[in-house]
């Protein structure tokens, strides 16, 4: 497979110019601090981590909803950060975003036909009649009744609203979808339906996904490769099977040990890794390895020297001075699990 997206040393800092803690004023929030990864055509890269680790900020920087502070983003050979005007607008036809909250991401004053048609209006594609026809086709594709095109968002459930958001993202025939926790606000049974829909759409339209989530079971179900983020950095990345069966980074090991297993006997036999302490502030991140303040195997070198991602197995990288395989003794469920599968 050929490479579609490459992100190298992506940085996004936010200035602290207000707040109740005076000592923080003038400092920066290190939301994303040197993230690098690539995504091949037709592939799904899962981006997983605790809330606040920078995964959503990474997704928004890729599509330039947020301007990166530093680093490079290359989409199909094009430098995304250099794009302006019509060139940037053309790029955004190829890369679309599915938002986390299906309630806040839809304009309550617009019908779903207008919502799904809006990207075509912005990019001046088609006539009002052809846009309406296209909107009906897309509603049918995502499993909604095209005859409901004149209804408003409040008349639909959360799962149906997310399907409307997916239809809107497909309106311009994109090549890459950035899915920002698209199922985290949904019930467990609805999560499975939406994940299965995304799988079907990927095969049907030859889509590429960057799938952002904090639920490891969901990520496992849909991803070809998985990147684990902690406090603005990627600490481990690899194929989902190798990463889930033999994680090398202590943080990944802790996350996977928290994934529940439906068999009570297997659940009791699994080793649970409990992390102590809280996630450090991204305003004053720790020196060296950012995980060393909570790491059960940290040594002096971890405080002084930041580890770089290095290959620990075929196609598997980890950023740890003492990375070693840690076999998960009981298989985590491949089906979609509910919220709370990630520690922290």
Which DSSP category does 308 fall into? Answer: P
pLDDT at res. 262:
73
Q: How many CB atoms lie within 10 A of CB 263?
A: 12
Regions of the chain where pLDDT drops below 50: 329-344
Q: What is the pLDDT of residue 26?
A: 79
Q: How far apart are CA 264 and CA 322, in angstroms?
A: 32
User: What mean pLDDT value characterizes the chain?
Assistant: 89
CB 18 within 8 Å of CB 69: no
**DSSP β-ladder status, 225-230 and 78-79:** unpaired
pTM: 0.88
The predicted pLDDT at position 267 comes to 66
pLDDT for res 265:
74
| CA-based nearest residue to 343, from 118, 53, 96 | 53
**Cα separation, 44 vs 1, whole angstroms:** 12
Work out the angle between the directed axes of helices 112-122 and 128-141 (0-180°, nearest 10). 120
Separation between Cα atoms, residue 132 and residue 111, nearest integer Å? 11
Two tokens, residue 138: 């897309």
* Per-residue pLDDT, 22: 64
Tell me the pLDDT tens digit for each residue of 264-302. Answer: 776 677 667 778 888 899 999 999 999 999 998 899 999
Q: What does the pLDDT look like over 44-79, one tens digit per residue?
A: 999 999 888 999 999 999 999 999 999 999 999 999
Give the pLDDT confidence of 236-245 residue by residue, as tens digits: 999 998 898 8
Instruction: Fill in the DSSP letter of residue 189.
Output: H
The total of other beta-carbon atoms located within 10 Å of residue 219's CB is 26
Q: Is the dihedral of CA 43, 329, 340, 311 positive or negative?
A: negative
Return the closest-CA partner of residue 187 out of 166, 211, 147, 218: 218
Which residue in the block uniquely carries the two structure tokens 């290095």? 310
């Amino acid at each position: 497979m050929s490479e579609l997206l490459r992100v190298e040393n992506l940085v996004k800092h936010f200035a602290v110019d207000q707040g109740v803690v005076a000592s923080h004023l003038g400092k920066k929030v290190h939301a994303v601090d040197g993230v690098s990864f690539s995504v091949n055509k037709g592939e799904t890269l899962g981006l997983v981590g605790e809330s606040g680790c920078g995964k959503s900020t990474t997704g928004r920087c890729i599509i330039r909803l947020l301007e990166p502070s530093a680093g490079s983003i290359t989409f199909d050979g094009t430098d995304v950060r250099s794009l302006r005007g019509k060139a940037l607008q053309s790029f955004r036809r190829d890369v679309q975003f599915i938002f986390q909250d299906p309630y806040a991401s839809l304009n309550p004053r617009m019908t779903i036909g207008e919502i799904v048609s809006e990207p075509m209006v912005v990019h001046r594609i088609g006539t009002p009649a052809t846009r309406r026809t296209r909107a009906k086709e897309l509603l049918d594709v995502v499993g909604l009744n095209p005859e409901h095109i004149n209804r408003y968002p409040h008349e639909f459930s959360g799962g149906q609203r997310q399907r409307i958001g997916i239809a809107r993202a497909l309106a311009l025939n994109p090549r890459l979808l950035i899915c920002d926790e698209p199922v985290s606000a949904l019930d467990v049974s609805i999560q499975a339906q939406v994940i299965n829909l995304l799988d079907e759409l990927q095969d049907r339209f030859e889509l590429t996904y960057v799938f952002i989530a904090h639920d490891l079971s969901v990520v496992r179900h849909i991803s070809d490769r998985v990147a684990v983020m902690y406090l603005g950095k990627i600490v481990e990345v690899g194929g989902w099977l190798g990463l889930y069966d033999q994680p090398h980074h202590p943080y990944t090991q802790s996350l996977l040990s928290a994934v529940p297993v439906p068999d009570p006997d297997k659940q009791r036999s699994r080793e649970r890794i409990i992390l102590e302490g809280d996630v450090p502030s991204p305003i004053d991140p720790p020196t060296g390895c950012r995980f060393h303040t909570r790491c059960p195997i940290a040594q002096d070198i971890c405080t002084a020297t930041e580890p770089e991602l290095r290959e620990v197995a075929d196609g598997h990288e980890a950023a740890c001075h003492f990375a070693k395989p840690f076999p998960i003794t009981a298989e985590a469920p491949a089906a979609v699990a509910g919220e709370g599968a990630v520690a922290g």
